[in-house]
Amino acid sequence: MAATAALKNDTIWLQAGDYDVVALNDKLSSHVPELSKALRHGVPVLPDSSRYGFYDVELSNGWSYIHVYDDARTVYLVAYSRN
């Protein structure tokens, strides 16, 4: 995974193409393909200042709140909100 190059303010670039993407519940599973595609190509994310490894991600259809668990090479989709 590469999380480098500050873009603006606290935003960083996150690319995790070789990580599994898993929804924390079935209601979120329909958003996994969009998130997976964004992470394969790389996407700007905003780190959660109070939780290590958690990020807000703006996607074309909404916002995702994710947790990147490097030890398991997994990105967990925690929450999703439509635009």
- Average pLDDT of the segment spanning 44-72: 95
Q: What is the mean pLDDT of residues 31-45?
A: 96
How far is the C-alpha of 49 from the C-alpha of 34, rounded, in Å?
25
pTM of the model: 0.85
* pLDDT above 60 for 56: yes
Say how many Å lie between the first and final Cα of the chain, rounded.
27
Which residue has better confidence, 27 or 8?
A: 27
Residue 17, CA atoms < 13 Å, CB-side half-sphere: 3
DSSP letter string, 13-36: EEE-TTSEEEESSGGGGGGHHHHH
Domains and their CATH numbers in the chain: 2-82 (3.30.2310)
Amino acid 54 reads F
Ranges 6-15, 42-51, 61-70, 71-80: which has the least confidence:
6-15
